[in-house]
Amino acid sequence: MTLAGKHIIVTAGPTHEPIDPVRVIANRSSGKQGFAIAQAAAEAGAKVTLIAGPVWLETPPGVHRIDVETALEMAAATEAALPADCAILVAAVADWRVDPATAKLKKADGPPDLHFIANPDILVGLGQSPRRPRLLIGFAAETDNVIANAVAKRTAKGADWIVANDVGSGVMGGDRNRVALISGDGVEDWPEASKDEVARRLLERIAAALG
């Protein structure tokens, strides 16, 4: 398999949404699956742009990494990385942010009244973009009704494929993963494997689809 001459964008990790200069809203994404996918894409010969939220992982060899903190920064970096043949959005992007206070909130002032604002959906944005990558792939992190939710997400978000991920069982932060690949052709259950193996298998499918 070769992806020589192809540009692939990967988003990975969580986003951090600041509340004040010292506090953030975060999630448990480790970035491992996204980094493994970026590595497998580079090993297959693609030019890879990896847009990473705050994670403590080494940059895979040959991968161009852009570090971001917030969903807004991740959206801007993804847009700036276009055009691409394929985008794989693995990041666990925060759905909401708050308008951060400029000074540290003090305990004595009582619990803060946080007003949430919706973040842009990067996957939906790419799906509607005139520069939409030919192959647009999202992940669906689910704890319940994994397949049904992921099938609905593929249509709702305008993705070509969704990798459905049951995150209810120690997947976040772990080294193994069990996914299903959802495409227009249906649902394919993949056996549990290491995140590296899942990445290589996905990249084989991507190489076949991009031709």
Q: Name residues contacting ligand CTP, limited to 81-140 (CB under 6 A).
A: 89, 91-93, 95, 119, 121-123, 138-140
Counting other chains too, the contacts that 19-22 makes at CB distance below 8 Å and 24 or more residues apart are: 19/98, 19/100, 19/101, 19/105, 19/112, 19/114, 20/100, 20/101, 20/102, 20/103, 20/104, 20/105, 21/100, 21/101, 21/102, 21/103, 21/104, 22/104
User: Is the Cβ of residue 42 or residue 91 nearer to ligand CTP in the bound state?
Assistant: 91
Q: Backbone phi, then psi, for 25, in 5-degree steps?
A: -100, 125
Of 8 and 71, nearer to ligand CTP (C-beta) is: 71
Q: Answer yes or no: are the C-beta atoms of 150 and 141 closer than 8 Å.
A: no
- Structure tokens that stand for 3 in this block: 């992806």
Closest CA to 93 of 181, 152, 12, 151: 12
| Binding flag, residue 207, ligand CTP (CB under 6 A) | no
Angle, CA 8 vertex, CA 2 and CA 13 arms, to 5°: 125
* Candidate residues 40, 50, 68, 71; the one interacting with ligand CTP per rule CB under 6 A: 71
Give 45 or 65: the residue with its C-beta nearer to ligand CTP: 65
* Least CB distance to ligand CTP at residue 170 (A): 17
Residues 27-56: x where in contact with ligand CTP by CB under 6 A, - otherwise, as a string: ------------------------------
Say if CB 204 and CB 190 are below 8 A apart: no
Is 165 tagged catalytic? no
Site string for ligand CTP, 6-25 (x = CB under 6 A): -----x--------------
Number of residues that bind ligand CTP (CB under 6 A): 16
**Contact residues: ligand CTP, CB under 6 A:** 11, 71, 89, 91-93, 95, 119, 121-123, 138-141, 153
Annotated catalytic residues are 27
